[in-house]
């Protein structure tokens, strides 16, 4: 059973989708918030999942060491970024190479990279006039939103869409389906590789 740490910065809807999904190969053992008082931490506590707050703003140069120490304490095998708005330092990405996954609310490489997060992604998609957007699950590398793509799902942009309406549709039709499915696959592959080792 792969031990999962979910990192979140907001409402935790993708965390909820992960908690609600069946995953015979992995279990969420830790939720780390980028700040206190976020709904994602409340969701985790309600489900009996341990939580921590690790703030890059407060910790500065100590951030990577604190994060790695906490992940090691919980024997984390897979890190899932679910609406996490902090860029992970290279030390963490390298320590968990191939075991950090992110969900992005667009069809990468469109509307990805530095500055594209949350509603900003949907505002940019509407401003560009695209007819189709969606979500992407990808492995995390040092290049923001630049890691290998694992899965994508397209979602139609409808007349009269606002960034908020489009965000809700992308979450419901793509993110909440893609992320649990791809996390389950990653956990299965990690389990198999443990048995083969």
Distances (CA, A) of 195 to 1, 4, 161, 192: 11, 18, 48, 5
d(CA 89, CA 61): 10
Over residues 99-122, mean pLDDT: 95
Residue 29 in this model has a pLDDT that exceeds 70: yes
Residue 197 in this model has a pLDDT that exceeds 70: no
Q: Is 122 an annotated catalytic residue?
A: no
Q: Is 11 exposed, middle or buried (0-12, 13-18, 19+ CB in 10 A)?
A: middle
Over residues 12-25, mean pLDDT: 95
3-state class of 117 per DSSP?
A: coil
Order across the sheet with 149-156: list the strands: 51-53, 26-33, 2-8, 78-81, 100-104, 132-139, 149-156
Q: What pairs with residue 5 in β-bridges?
A: 30, 79
Average model confidence (pLDDT) across the chain: 95
Fold of 2-196: Rossmann fold (3.40.50)
pLDDT digits (tens, 9 = 90+) for 51-79: 999 998 888 889 999 999 999 999 999 99
Of 154-158, 161-165, 188-192, give the lowest mean pLDDT range: 188-192
Residue 188 CA, distance from chain mean position: 18
Out of 104, 122, 169, 184, which one is annotated catalytic?
Answer: 104
pLDDT digits (tens, 9 = 90+) for 134-154: 999 999 999 999 999 999 999
H helices of 21-148, in order, are 39-46, 56-59, 63-73, 90-95, 119-128
d(CA 40, CA 9): 7
Q: Is the full-model pTM beyond 0.85? A: yes
Over residues 23-40, mean pLDDT: 96
pLDDT digits (tens, 9 = 90+) for 163-187: 999 999 999 999 999 999 999 999 9
Over residues 76-87, mean pLDDT: 94
Q: Which two tokens stand for residue 28?
A: 């969420």
């Amino acid at each position: 059973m792969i031990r999962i740490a979910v990192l979140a910065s907001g409402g935790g809807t993708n965390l909820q989708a992960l908690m609600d999904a069946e995953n015979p190969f992995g279990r969420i053992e830790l939720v780390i918030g980028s700040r206190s008082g976020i709904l994602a931490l409340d969701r985790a506590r309600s489900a009996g999942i341990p939580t921590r707050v690790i703030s890059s703003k407060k910790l500065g140069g100590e951030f990577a060491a604190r994060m790695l120490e906490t992940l090691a304490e919980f024997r984390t095998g897979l890190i899932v970024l679910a609406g996490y708005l902090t860029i992970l330092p290279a030390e963490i990405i390298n320590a968990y190479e191939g075991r950090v996954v992110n969900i992005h609310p667009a069809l990468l490489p469109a509307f990805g990279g530095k500055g594209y997060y949350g509603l900003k992604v949907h505002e940019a998609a509407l401003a560009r006039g695209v007819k189709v957007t969606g979500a992407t699950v990808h492995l995390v590398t040092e290049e923001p939103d630049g890691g290998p793509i694992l899965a994508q799902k397209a979602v139609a942009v409808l007349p009269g869409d606002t960034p908020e309406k489009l965000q809700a549709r992308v979450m419901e039709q793509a993110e909440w389906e893609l992320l649990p499915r791809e996390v389950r696959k990653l956990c299965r592959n990690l389990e198999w590789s443990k048995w083969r080792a």
